[in-house]
Amino acid sequence: MALKHNKEKDFSEWYTELVSEAGANLADMRYGIQGAIVETPWAVKIMRAFEAMLEKEVEADGHEPMLLPTIVPEAYIKREKEHVKGFAPELYWVTEGGGKKLEEKFYLRPTGESQIYPMYSIWIRSWNQLPFKRYQSRITVFRFETTTRPFLRGREFNFFEAHDAFATHEDALEQVKNDMVYSENVMHEKLGLPFIFVRRPQWDKFAGAVDTYGAETIVDGKVNTIASTHDLGQNFSKTYDICFMNKKEQKEHAWQTCYGPGLIRIMAGLISIHGDNYGLVLPFEVAPIQVVIIPIIFEKKSADVEKKCRQLEKDLKGKGYRVTYDDSENTAGWKFNEWEMKGVPIRIEVGPREVKEKKLTLVRRDTKKKEIISEKDLDKKIVEYAVELLKNITKKAETDLKDSIHEAKTFADAKKILETKRGIVKAPFCSIDFDGQKCADKLQEEAAAKVRGTLFGKQEKATGKCIMCGKPAKHIVYIAKSY
Ligand SMILES: [Zn+2]
């Protein structure tokens, strides 16, 4: 049975249904605070799986884990003026403790910079500690958001952040590329979520940063940012006094970057980019259950079928797969729907015929195609299905992303595309420095879309005129509505 709402026709309702108990049951929205969702075991397992991939990725490149408290003293954020201005409207404050008003209030971290850098100022002393790379994961951050959506925007949500310090700006800029590679290796290669990596316009960068870069995926015609990297230059090291002695025994301020893959945004990407009208479609590597075994029983239970199912479950578990044998009282059809909804990559059907002929019926979640195989080929087939499934959903997502980018030469074209085809508009633009902000504001006002930035790592030659002001274009920019 399919979901009640259709992904192509009413995406928003489809998404909500899929996330809820009526769908794949990923989050319970009945918790007493708006925008604070309860994640179900199924969601937590998926998220932990890709969180572990990200941890492995950054650790392989020299990052060490750390964990800081959730509460931060007020004095910490006050030190960075731009930063405090950027985050002030979203802050939660703790003003009382033990029934008394606190002398110094705390805030709940909206992101890590202001809590981590006072510690870096204590820890970092010498050039031989650089590059200094640390990260924290399996934490939450708090932002007072007015509009919220499960896994897209919340008031408390899962967070992952890496904070690095370097001796030179060149080293820091090299890290921006490394961060892009982490996202490429995990989000694109392992989760099948392709993205465009852009450098943000100056007016839209992270509060206090020199430059911000973002990995943008497309969801229902709008941009969903799944990772950000900030080149902080020496802005924060000067404010927070993060210095090191160079080889000539001179004191220098460190150059910094920070990287934040958006865990909830990645989850939203998995749900909405790969999901279909039958439910989730999960890559094999992150699926909480990778293989489900379903007995096909006709009039009465068959001891042979049951025995075969148990044996298969045991064998596959022994090989390290996450597998379950669904021996519940529900009908086979009900079970098919249930596990399809959950996005389990491979289903094995075992009936009396399969037992007799030493065969198995396999169904792959993404294509829903059935194949009858020899029992002895099962191992080989599981590996093959896992690879093919990821390849297939990745290719589909890549095509969707490519098809959603449209070129425009004039504002009228851009507006028309945003209204009809939606997606991303690629257009000539005067400037992504502050002098282009006026044009961007006008664009936002008249087309309700934002300049997301210029493509990073590949120089796109600008020709023609800015679609807003008509001045010669310095850049080709990507424009879209966003989540
Ligand atoms: Zn312009």
Q: What is the mean pLDDT of residues 241-269?
A: 97
User: Ligand 1 centre from 465 Cα, in Å?
Assistant: 8
> For residue range 324-353, what is the model confidence (pLDDT) as tens digits?
999 999 999 999 999 999 999 999 999 999
How many angstroms is it from 182 CA to the middle of ligand 1?
34
Q: Calculate how far, in angstroms, residue 471's C-alpha sits from the geometric centre of ligand 1.
A: 6
Looking at residue 82, its pLDDT comes to 76
Q: Which residue has the tokens 């960068």?
A: 205
Separation of alpha carbons 478 and 404, rounded Å: 11
What average pLDDT does the segment 440-467 reach?
A: 93
Rounded to the nearest angstrom, the distance between the alpha carbon of 436 and the centre of ligand 1 is: 6
Ligand 1 centroid to Cα of residue 429, in Å, is 6
- d(CA 454, ligand 1 centre) in Å: 14
Which of 15-19, 62-66, 458-462 is least confident?
Answer: 458-462
Tens of pLDDT along 67-108?
Answer: 999 999 999 988 887 777 888 889 999 999 999 999 999 999
Residue 463 alpha carbon to ligand 1 centre in Å: 13
Taking ligand 1, which is a single-atom ion, which protein residues have CB atoms under 5 Å away? 430, 439, 466, 468-469
Residue 124: pLDDT band with limits 50, 70, 90? very high
Give the model's pLDDT for residue 299.
66
- Higher pLDDT: 457 or 410? It is 410
CA of 344 from ligand 1 middle (Å) equals 49
The set of residues, in sequence order, having a beta carbon less than 8 Å from that of 388 and lying 6+ positions away, is 364
Output the CA 393–ligand 1 centroid distance in Å.
38
What is the mean predicted confidence (pLDDT) over 264-288?
Answer: 98
pLDDT of residue 465: 96
Distance of CA 149 from the midpoint of ligand 1 (Å)? 33
d(CA 245, CA 250) in angstroms, rounded, equals: 5
Q: What is the pLDDT of residue 87?
A: 83
| 131: confidence class by pLDDT, cuts 50, 70, 90 | very high
469 CA → ligand 1 middle, Å: 4
Q: What is the Å distance from ligand 1's center to 169 Cα? A: 30
User: What pLDDT is stored for residue 407 in this prediction?
Assistant: 96
**N residues, the chain:** 483
What is the CA(425)–ligand 1 centre distance, in A?
A: 15
**Ligand 1 center to 432 CA (angstroms):** 9
Can you tell me the distance from the alpha carbon of 123 to that of 457, in angstroms, rounded to the nearest whole number? Answer: 33
Report the pLDDT value the prediction gives residue 270, as an integer from 0 to 100: 98
The chain-wide mean pLDDT, for the chain, equals 95
| pLDDT of 25 above 80 | yes
pLDDT, tens digit, for every residue of 375-409?
Answer: 999 999 999 999 999 999 999 999 999 999 999 99
Alpha-carbon distance of 138 to 342, in angstroms, equals 23
pTM: 0.96
CA of 389 to the centre of ligand 1 (A): 44
pLDDT tens per residue across span 296-311: 987 666 889 999 999 9
The span from the CA of 243 to the CA of 124, in Å, is: 7
CA distances, 437 to each of 300, 387, 392, 450 (Å): 72, 45, 40, 11
Give me ligand 1 centre to Cα 426, in Å. 14
Residue predicted with more confidence, 88 or 223: 223
Cα–ligand 1 centroid distance for 480 (angstroms): 16
Q: Which of 263, 266, 262, 61 is nearest to 174 (CA)?
A: 61
Interval between CA 265 and ligand 1 midpoint (Å): 31
Ligand 1 centroid to residue 472 C-alpha, Å: 8
Ligand 1 center to 416 CA (angstroms): 19
In the reported structure, the alpha carbon of residue 206 is separated from the centroid of ligand 1 by a whole-number distance in angstroms of 22
For the cut 90, the answer to whether the pLDDT of residue 209 exceeds it is yes
Q: Say which range, 21-25, 381-385, 456-460, has the weakest mean pLDDT.
A: 456-460
Q: What is the mean pLDDT of residues 186-207?
A: 96
What is the mean pLDDT of the segment spanning 364-375? 97
- Sorted by sequence, the CB contacts under 8 Å of residue 89 that are 6+ apart come out as 144
User: What average pLDDT does the segment 224-233 reach?
Assistant: 97
Note the pLDDT of residue 457: 80
Report how far ligand 1's centroid is from the alpha carbon of 411 (Å): 11
Q: Is the per-residue pLDDT at 7 higher than 70? A: yes
Q: What separation in Å is there between the alpha carbon of 82 and the centre of ligand 1?
A: 26
Before 131, cis peptide (omega within 30)?
yes
**pLDDT reported for residue 302:** 82
Task: Evaluate if residue 284 carries a pLDDT over 90.
Answer: yes
Task: State the distance from the centre of ligand 1 to the C-alpha of 210, rounded, in angstroms.
Answer: 22
For residue 189, the model assigns a pLDDT of: 98
Distance 217 CA to ligand 1 centre (A): 25
Say what the pLDDT of residue 77 is.
Answer: 86
Percent of the chain with pLDDT over 90: 92
Residue 482 CA, ligand 1 centroid: distance in Å: 21
Average pLDDT over residues 197-226: 95
Q: Identify which of 75, 143, 83 has the alpha carbon closest to the alpha carbon of residue 113.
A: 83
Give which of 427, 462, 474 is closest to 447, Cα–Cα. Answer: 427
- Distance from residue 443's CA to the centre of ligand 1 (Å): 10
The rounded Å distance from CA 423 to ligand 1 centre is 21
Least Cα distance to 166 among 211, 233, 115 occurs for 233
How far apart are alpha carbons 125 and 260 in whole angstroms?
25
Q: How far is the CA of 224 from the centre of ligand 1 (A)?
A: 25
Mean pLDDT, residues 100-126: 96
Provide the pLDDT confidence category of residue 287 given band limits of 50, 70 and 90. very high
Ligand 1 center–CA 433 separation, angstroms: 11
Q: How remote is the CA of residue 473 from the centroid of ligand 1, in Å?
A: 7
